[in-house]
Amino acid sequence: MSMQNSNSSAAPSWPLLTGVSVVGVYAHFLLHAESQIAVLGLAVGAILLLIAFSRFGWTARVATSAATYPKLLGAGAVAAVVLVAAVSYEMHFALLMLTTVLLYSTVCLGLNIQFGYSGVVNFAGAAFFGIGSYTAAVLASHSPLPHLLIVALAGLVAALLGSLLILPVLRTRGHYAALITIAFGILFKTFLEVNDALGGPQGLKIPGMEILGWKFNDNIAIGDHELSFYLNYLVLSLALCAVTFVLVRRLERSWMGLSMDVVRLDETAAATFGVDIARWKITAFTLGNGLAGMAGAIYGMMTGFVAPNNFTFGDSLILVSIVILGGIGNPWGILPAAAIVLILPEKLQFIQEYRFLLYALLVILILLFRPDGLLPRKIRNYFPGDAGR
Amino acid sequence: MDLGLLGQYLLNGLMLGMIYAMVAVGFTLFFGVLDVIKFSHGDVLMVGTFAGLATYLGLESVGIDSPWLQLLLVVLVSVSAMAVLGALIAKFLILPLKDAPPLNTLLATLMLGSVLRESVRLFYPNGSNPKPFPRLLPTDEWSLGTLTLRVDNLILLAAGVAAIVGVHLLITRTKLGLAIRAVAQDGETARIMGINFEWIVLLTFGLGSGLAALAGVMNGLYYNETNFGIGLLLGVIGFSAAILGGLGNVYGAILGGFIFAGLQTLGSVALPAVLPSVPSAYKDVFAFTAVIVIMAWKPTGLIAEKSSERV
């Protein structure tokens, strides 16, 4: 931490604070934009502004500032989300979207540990998300367990079901390993469709969350104002996402993250240096699936409904697209990528129908021309600021 | 269970296995020459089916109604269009990504599959609904006791065998096949020996995609129905079959195709017989579970890929 003090004179904190505020204000306008032209204008404006800012070198200053004050960046991001949510306190739809972005980001942070750090491919992200939702549906309807415990259990069940795949995932590599998770994702959805006990294709209802008598599905009344009930879920999802984020960052900076990177980059070298390949693959796979399960449970309780059609192979691909779009291995890239992939099609009604087509084209273009994603992962930075590089 | 019903299941399983094997051979050819997985293969098959369907509708509208001529043109258009599409995909998506990590190629082609699928759904007239596929083959029936043989199914089976044997002969007996095998074994050395690497890659992708289009038309003729979603499942099944057999091995792919069809048939016949509470709808669950178990047992397929660790 002494480095931080010596660097503070070199890199000021205001570019970071300005950057976070600009993004926050932008998100606010995007969420509140009503007309199609306004949304389109905002989308095009963002691209033009980004190009202009990087011409003037402003983005680089924000990046340096962010690298100098990582904690301030985290706090700023949380504050921005809280402020944007607080301003739209009675708009159900805006809050629903914001919460969805947070929950999908949590899943993608888990996928990031798998794809980005230890190199375990997982094309069944939506299936593990779905396992979480279904676990929440069954446990919340048929057991008196407290709901926070159910969320944790949903993560556990997803991780446990995922561990059925550990043996094949460990024994196979590359394309063979990809097939295992693809087959699992399709198997999961087919199983739910033909299974009557879990509601078949119609799915199940999920009761809303309730913690210590606080009903999440009731609007919150403060004086004359009525706050949207989605605020409850937003706060919970923000907490989950923030904790996950800190966890992922700590993991990356620790010796565990280093070991995972070695396993991904070169298994032979890893084995030669005494890194236990199986251990890190299992850790990454289980952790990622558990996170997907927990996020799935909260999402299910928020929407009140779960059906097999929400967890197709296409949805798993969207999750992977978010990870790739953000920059594989960089947790900071996930939040903006999730926002782009989830909010833009909801807002731009005329592309709603074409969204799968557009994502697919976008990901192909990124893979061809910018394979490291929008915010590429940087080399580990153990000391704040540029000096640590 | 009587013999006739058993024979019916056997015929159905053979037919499915033939289609799966044709898709799997494509996967294994592509993997052979470039060590890549082209996941859009199933969707190329689907586009081939729709190209055939569109040709049929076009011929109907200009008044050509001889079923044999129609069939010939449907197959020709579908196969050649998909061969071109396959070569274009190789040229503009797969060759540029040759030096990228395998995950990137897999993802790019997965996404290309979505592009093809969504394009048919959105831009083919009324593309999101299932389409009837015409019966172009004679539907006479022969009865052997309780077993009914339909002429069209027998023709389809024979066509499938002919296609697979044809590809096999092409690869083992011709100069082109020799070049494909040379590129598959060692691209660098093949180039030194004067083989045009890029041409061979494009031809191989064209060949595999044409085979997939034929499988797609056969699938349409067999079920008399098609929809934009068939490619995804057929692609995953073909991929599973190629991997079950061992990537890069044509015999393995054929074996894998028939094994998968066998697992599905077993799942729909034997499962309800053994466990009455489990309906035959679980056949895919059973087949994919079996694939995962087999992969855990033989991680590089039944006929293992010959590979050595490069350090």
Tens-digit pLDDT profile for residues B80-121: 999 999 999 999 998 888 888 777 888 888 889 989 998 998
Q: Are A122 and A285 in contact (CB under 8 A)?
A: yes
* Cα–Cα nearest to B131, from B50, B51, B212: B50
Contact of A261 with A380, CB cutoff 8 Å: no
Residue A167 C-alpha, separation from nearest chain B C-alpha, in angstroms: 6
pLDDT digits (tens, 9 = 90+) for B218-234: 999 888 888 888 888 88
- CB-based contact A288:A127 (threshold 8 Å): no
Could you tell me the residue range of the domain that residue B42 belongs to?
Answer: 7-127+147-297
Mean pLDDT for A291-304 is 90
Q: What is the mean pLDDT of residues A107-131?
A: 90
Q: For B11-23, how does the pLDDT look when each residue is reduced to its tens digit (9 = 90+)?
A: 888 988 999 999 9
For the CA atoms of B65, B67, B68, B73, the dihedral, rounded to the nearest 10 degrees, stands at: 70
Residue A388: which pLDDT band, with cuts at 50, 70 and 90?
A: very low
Domain-located, residue B205 = yes
Report residue B144 CA to chain centroid gap.
Answer: 31
**Residue B152 resides in a domain:** yes
Helix (H) or strand (E) holding A214: strand A214-215
Chains A and B: how many Cβ contacts under 8 Å? 118
Closest partner residue to A357 (CB to CB) among B106, B115, B279 is B115
For residue A313, give the chain B residue with the closest CA.
B232
Question: Does the pLDDT at position A128 exceed 70?
Answer: yes
Tell me what the pLDDT averaged over chain A comes to: 80
Distance from CA of B40 to the nearest CA of A (A): 12
Confidence of residue A293 (pLDDT cuts 50, 70, 90): very high
Contact yes or no for B300 and A184 at CB 8 A? no
Residue of A nearest to B104 (CA): A367
Q: What pLDDT is stored for residue B125 in this prediction?
A: 85
Confidence of residue B279 (pLDDT cuts 50, 70, 90): low
Domain CATH for B277: 1.10.3470
B51 in Cβ contact with B78 (< 8 Å): yes
Among the ranges A3-12, A43-52, A137-146, which has the highest mean pLDDT value? A137-146
User: Are the beta carbons of B295 and B243 closer than 8 angstroms?
Assistant: yes
Asked if A187's CB is within 8 angstroms of B289's CB, the reply is yes
Report which of residues A103 and A144 the model is more confident about.
A103
The count of domains in chain B is 1
Question: What's the CA gap between A87 and A78, in Å, rounded?
Answer: 14
Is the model's pLDDT at B1 over the cut of 70?
A: no
Taking each helix axis as running N to C, give the angle between helix A331-347 and helix A36-55, from 0 to 180 degrees, rounded to the nearest 10: 150
At B107 the pLDDT is 83
Is residue B277 predicted with pLDDT exceeding 70? no
**pLDDT exceeds 80 at position A43:** no
Find the length of chain B.
311
The set of residues, in sequence order, having a beta carbon less than 8 Å from that of B211 and lying 6+ positions away, is B22, B25, B26, B163, B167
pLDDT tens string B261-271: 998 888 887 77
Q: Does A138 have pLDDT greater than 60?
A: yes
Mean pLDDT to the nearest integer, A163-169: 85
ipTM, 2 dp: 0.82
CB contact under 8 A, B122 and A354: yes
In-domain check, residue B235? yes
Flag if B311 and A321 touch (Cβ within 8 Å): no
Confidence of residue B305 (pLDDT cuts 50, 70, 90): low
- Comparing A64-78, A231-245, A264-278, A324-338, which segment has the lowest mean pLDDT? A64-78
> At residue B159, what are phi and psi to the nearest 5 degrees?
-60, -40
pLDDT at A7 over 60: no
Average pLDDT over residues A58-67: 71
**B307 pLDDT higher than 60:** no
Mean pLDDT of chain B: 85
Q: How far apart are the first and last CA of chain A?
A: 15
Contact A343, B73 (CB under 8 A): no
Whole-angstrom Cα distance, residue A298 to residue A294?
Answer: 7
Establish if B181 belongs to a structural domain: yes
Given this model, what pLDDT does residue A8 score? 45
> Among A201-215, B19-33, B154-168, which stretch is predicted with the lowest mean pLDDT?
A201-215
Phi, psi (rounded to 5 degrees) for A213: 85, -10
**Residues forming beta bridges with residue B148, ordered by sequence position:** B143
Q: Does residue A292 register a pLDDT over 90?
A: yes
- Written as six digits, the tokens of A24 are 């926050």
Nearest residue to B142 via CA among B157, B154, B158, B134:
B154
Task: Say if residue B210's pLDDT is above 90.
Answer: yes
pLDDT for the residue numbered B280: 64
pLDDT band at A213 (very low <50, low <70, confident <90, very high): low
Q: What is the reported pLDDT for A6?
A: 44
- Give the lowest-confidence range in A229-233, A259-263, A363-367: A229-233
What are the sequence ranges of the domains in chain A? 12-88, 92-338+354-369
Question: What CATH number should be reported for the domain whose range is A92-338+354-369?
Answer: 1.10.3470
Tell me how close the Cα of A270 comes to any Cα of chain B, in angstroms.
Answer: 12
pLDDT per residue as tens digits for the range A326-368: 888 888 888 888 888 887 777 776 777 787 788 788 888 888 8
Query: Among A326, A129, A331, which residue's Cα sits nearest to residue A244?
Result: A331
Residue B28 lies in a domain: yes
Which chain A residues are within 8 Å of B295, Cβ to Cβ? 168, 171-172, 176, 179-180
Res A5 pLDDT > 50:
no
Which residues in chain B have their CB less than 8 angstroms from residue A273's CB?
none
What pLDDT band is residue A95 in, cutting at 50, 70 and 90?
confident
Whole-Å CA distances, B35 to A19, B27, B102, B255 = 44, 10, 8, 20
3-state secondary structure of B64: coil
Contact A4, A321 (CB under 8 A): no
Q: Which residues of A touch B122 (CB under 8 A)?
A: 353-354, 357
Partner residue facing B107 (CB), from A176, A353, A363: A363
CB contacts of A329 in chain B (<8 Å) are none
Least confident of A61-70, A89-98, B233-242, B257-266: A61-70
Q: Which of A64-68, A311-315, B203-207, B307-311 has the lowest average pLDDT?
A: B307-311
For the stretch B236-257, pLDDT in tens is 889 889 888 888 788 888 999 9
pLDDT of residue A3: 43
For residue B244, tell me if it sits in a domain.
yes
Q: Cβ of B97 and A321 within 8 Å?
A: no
Q: Are A124 and A182 in contact (CB under 8 A)?
A: yes
pLDDT, residue A288, reads: 92
Residue B156 and residue B218 in contact, taking contact as beta carbons nearer than 8 Å: yes
Q: What is the DSSP letter of B174?
A: S
- State how far the Cα of A30 lies from the Cα of A99, in Å rounded to an integer: 15
Provide the pLDDT for residue A389: 44
- Helices (H), ranges, B124-249: 151-173, 175-185, 187-192, 197-223, 230-245
